[in-house]
Structures are given as C-alpha cells and as structure tokens.
Amino acid sequence: MDYRQSGVDIDAGNETVRRIKSLARGTFTPGVLSEIGSFGGLFQVPPDATAPVLVASADGVGTKLKLAFMSGRHDTVGQDLVNHCVNDILVQGATPLFFLDYLATGRLQPSVAEQIVGGMAKACGENGCALLGGETAEMPGFYADGEYDLAGFIVGMVERDRLIDGKTIVPGDVLIGVPSTGLHTNGYSLARRVVFEGLGLTFDSHVAELGTSIGDALLVPHRSYLKTVQPLLPRRLVKGMAHITGGGITENLPRVFPEGTAARIARDSWTVPPLFTFLQQGGQVSDDEMLRAFNMGIGLIIACDARTAPEVIAILQSSGGAGSVVIGGVVEGNGTVEYV
C-alpha cells in the first residue's frame, strides 16, 4: 500500500504549491521576509509605526461554497474570504498587513486550488495586503468528492491613537449606511433553501427582476470597504463602524455601541436591492427574519457626529461609496436596534 492508494496524492500537493507560488508572490509587500513554503511566514511591522496595535481576525465563506461546487466556479469565493476578513479589522481602523488561508478537501485538484488562491491573490492585491502563506490539506473520506472548506486569517495594524472602538458614540450621533453588493457571505443556507428547494430553480435559472441568473446574482463577491473608508480615517471623523455580516443589522450594530446607547433605524431610508425582495417573497420570510439573516443592502454602518455627517457622506461618495446615506441615529437604550 502507499499514500496515494489511501487517498492522499503528494504529487498533486506539490503541483498545487507550484501553481500558487507565483500567485502569492505577486501580492508580496515590502514587509514580507519569507517565501511561500517556509514553515512560518515572516512579516516586519512597518518601521515608521510609533505605537502599533495588531488587529487579527479569522473567518470562512460558509455555505456560499455550495454555489461554487454547483457552478464549478471557484475564483469568487477566494475574493469573498479576503474581503470579509479585511472588513472585519477595518471597522477598528486597521489596515491589513498579511493574510493566510486554510483549504481542506477530500481529493486535491490543483486546477481548483489554483482558482481559489487566484481569487484570494486578486483580493489581496486590491487591498494591499500580502498573501503570506497558508495550508492546503488533503483529507480523504472527510469531505464529499468535489467539495472543500475554506477559511482565512488576517492581521492588520492601526496606531493606538487611531483605534476605533465605539467608546465615544453618544445619543444624537448619526448612522450612515454604505451599500453592499449582494448577500456578501451570509444568509446562504436560507437563500439556497428558498431558491433551490422552495422555488425549484437551478443555478442557471434566469430571474427577470434581477436581470441575470439566480446563480450569478448569488455569487457576486463580498465587497471590501477599505478604499472607501480609508480617506475618513486620518480625519478622525469615524466614531464606530459595524460590518454587517451574519445576524444582519439587528445583531451586528449593537456590537459597537457603548453601554446606555441603542440604534433607531429608518427602514425607508435606503432602497432594498431586488435580490432581497425576491428571496423574501419567494420564501415568505418575515421582515424580522430578513433583517437578522441578511444585510438587506447595507454592508457597513458608520457612526459619526451629526455635524460631520455631510462631510462623511461626501467623502464616501467620492471614494467608491456611491449610495451611502443616513439610515438612522443613536439613541439612549440598552444596545438594541429599533426599526421605524
């Protein structure tokens, strides 16, 4: 017996590494001190940092991966993963330094791994962070044939006096919503049940009100807000930010509020994209459930002083945040979100 007969193909693993080395190397920044293949990735904190705080996060793509399996398109989930992680540290004011991934599958296919890593490399390049390394694990008998799991780990940095923690948020502050590009990476278990089980659609089914196939609409990559928000950070206009992921506005916005504050959100202050309306009507999903499962077209919420809100919106509009709008305000309360 040998390892290949047991389901692990070392040659396929070596071929995968060969394919992804150049992809990762193309993202390297001046801080990278190691090569792909080292036991550990080396990164030097920028020498001009005075009081650096490292901000780290880990996440996955969730059941959106099922759409990649259905379609055979594996490049977008890598973008989803990186952008999600970038946003998670951005809300605390951090700029990404480097990213690592974990890819596990039952049978390693170098061409599929290359697509996945290609998507990650593209997003890392767009966000200015290095794809420093990762792990590709072949685990026969653990995953169904043709399926895999994907997770990412990001480290960023912010100067201590620029850290955004929400502690200065007070009643009377304004909440600004920045549009999402779709479902991003959350709510897909419910969306798949509505679309493929409830409505009986296939990945390629055309949906007139969306102007595209349902599969293409659901595969739109998670948006990175880094370039949109970055111009605000040196101006110290942001008091707090919430990345609207699993749990929607209802669960995520309170995570940035100090004690004694809450949110009042005006439901008619933004136009909900057609995809969410289609899912709600198709699955007869309640309003409350929609607001907890999906971002409903708002992927990021920024809390700022009411007096500076016009300036914040103008900066957002000029840096890729078209459609950013005031969606509510901060009130006295116990960390809840009230919709009016």
Q: Which one of 121, 142, 162 terminates a domain?
A: 162
Span 205-219, average pLDDT: 96
Q: Are residues 323 and 192 in the same domain?
A: yes
User: According to the model, what pLDDT value does residue 1 have?
Assistant: 66
pLDDT per position as a tens digit, 155-197: 999 999 999 999 999 999 999 999 999 999 999 999 999 999 9
Same domain, 24 and 154: yes
**Is residue 247 included in any domain, yes or no?**
yes
pLDDT at 20: 85
Q: Could you tell me if residue 4 is inside a domain?
A: no
Looking at residue 7, its pLDDT comes to 67
Give CA–CA dist 307/151, Å, rounded.
Answer: 40
- pTM to 2 decimal places: 0.95
pLDDT band at 151 (very low <50, low <70, confident <90, very high): very high
Residue 6: pLDDT band (50, 70, 90) is low
- The tokens for 58 are 């880990």
Residue 218: its H or E element: helix 214-219
| 328, containing H or E segment | strand 325-332
199 and 150 co-located in one domain: no
> Which of 163, 112, 167 is CA-nearest to residue 136?
112
- The enclosing H or E element of 80 equals helix 76-90
Rounded Cα distance between 127 and 293, Å, is 27
Same domain, 115 and 234: no
The 3-state DSSP composition of the chain as helix, strand, coil percent (nearest 5) reads: 40, 25, 40
The pLDDT value recorded for residue 271 is: 95
Give a yes or no: residue 67 inside a domain.
yes
Report the pLDDT averaged over residues 10-21: 81
| pLDDT at residue number 275 | 98
Which position has the token pair 């309640």?
Answer: 286
Same domain, 227 and 134: no
Q: Which two tokens stand for residue 90?
A: 């951005």
Q: Is residue 3 part of a domain?
A: no
User: How confident is the model at residue 5, as a pLDDT?
Assistant: 64
Q: Are residues 197 and 129 in the same domain?
A: no
The 10s digit of each residue's pLDDT in 272-316 is: 999 999 999 999 999 999 999 999 999 999 999 999 999 999 999
Residue 254 lies in a domain: yes
Mark whether 134 and 243 lie in a shared domain: no
Report the pLDDT value the prediction gives residue 4, as an integer from 0 to 100: 66
Q: Confirm whether 61 is domain-assigned.
A: yes
In a domain, 2, yes or no: no
What share of the chain has pLDDT > 70, as a percent? 98
Distance of CA 11 to CAs 1, 4, 5, 15, 19, Å? Answer: 16, 9, 13, 6, 12
CATH of the domain at 215: 3.90.650.10
What pLDDT, on a 0 to 100 scale, did the predictor assign at position 317?
95
How far apart CA 89 and CA 99 sit, in angstroms, is 12
Q: What is the pLDDT of residues 55-70, one digit of tens each?
A: 999 999 999 999 999 9
**Same structural domain, 209 and 312:** yes
What is the mean pLDDT of the segment spanning 78-96? 98
Per-residue pLDDT of 125-137, as tens digits, reads: 999 999 999 999 9
Structure tokens at 266: 């005006």
Q: Do 17 and 150 share a domain, yes or no?
A: yes
Q: Which domain holds residue 103?
A: 10-162
CATH classification of the domain holding 151: 3.30.1330.10
Number of structural domains found in the chain:
2
Q: Say if residues 239 and 303 touch (Cβ distance below 8 Å).
A: yes
Q: Indicate whether 229 and 269 sit together in one domain.
A: yes
pLDDT confidence tier of residue 37, bands split at 50, 70 and 90: confident
CA-based Rg of the chain, rounded to a whole angstrom? 21
Do 215 and 90 lie in one domain? The reply is no
Last residue of a domain, one of 162, 189, 218: 162
- Mention every residue, 6+ apart, whose C-beta is less than 8 A from residue 10: 3, 4
Same domain, 158 and 179: no
Chain-wide mean pLDDT for the chain? 94
pLDDT at 31: 94
Torsion sign, CA atoms 223, 227, 231, 233: positive
Please indicate, yes or no, if residue 195 is contained in any of the structural domains. yes
Domain boundary among 115, 140, 162: 162
What is the structure's pLDDT at 18? 83
